[in-house]
Amino acid sequence: MMSEPDKDDKPFSPDRITFENRYVTVVGEINDKLAKATSERLLALAAVSDDPITLFISSPGGHVESGDMVHDLIRFIKPTVRVIGSGWVASAGALIFIGAKKENRFCLPNTRFLLHQPSGGIGGKASDIAIQAEQLELMKTRFERIFAEATGQTPERIAADTRRDFWLDTQQAIDYGLLSKVVHSATEI
């Protein structure tokens, strides 16, 4: 005969396990829903304790301002945030990745990185197109400054490298200053 489960036994829940281990996952397109969920998770973990948080990211990128939200929040909260890239870390995903201090930026062995200048769908009246083009140029300049500060490259180098898609493997990402270390297991962090 089976015994009654102990009242303190909680059923297995991946969400509970990731929360208790202070893990956050960012997988897929960066958009407002993902940014909201990620931000809420980071804020909740920061409210519980100042212990480090580990954020795993695999993303093709997406909406820049949603990436900005998570990037800025990583820097805003008190706990140290360690970021581990896996799969690919591209575009707005790379923006989130560099929210962590360089010494806290890691990736798994088969990760690839993609940097490129922002793009957008411009349309409408001529006056609106001019405004949107100006905003894209401002975003591009900001992107170059943020990535220059995070990597140690100059904004001019970032601008030149990201005129087209700029792919980096793990060693290239280390050499470029994007990444601190490739890790093979959790014990290396």
Q: How far apart are the first and last CA of the chain?
A: 45
User: Long-range CB contacts (< 8 A, 24+ apart) of 166-169?
Assistant: 166/114, 166/115, 166/116, 167/112, 167/113, 167/114, 168/112, 168/113, 168/114, 168/115, 169/112, 169/113
Q: Which one is catalytic: 66, 116, 119, 180?
A: 116
127 counts as catalytic = no
Q: What ranges make up the beta strands (E) of the chain?
A: 23-27, 53-59, 81-90, 105-107, 112-115, 166-168, 181-182
Amino acid at site 165: D
59 counts as catalytic = no
Candidates 72, 80, 91, 76; CA nearest to 55 is 80
Q: Which one is catalytic: 39, 59, 91, 180?
A: 91
Strands 166-168 and 112-115, bridge-based pairing? antiparallel
Local structure of residue 81 (DSSP, 8 states): E
For residue 123, count other CB atoms closer than 10 A to its CB: 8
Distance CA 141, CA 118 (A): 10
Write out the catalytic residue numbers: 91, 116
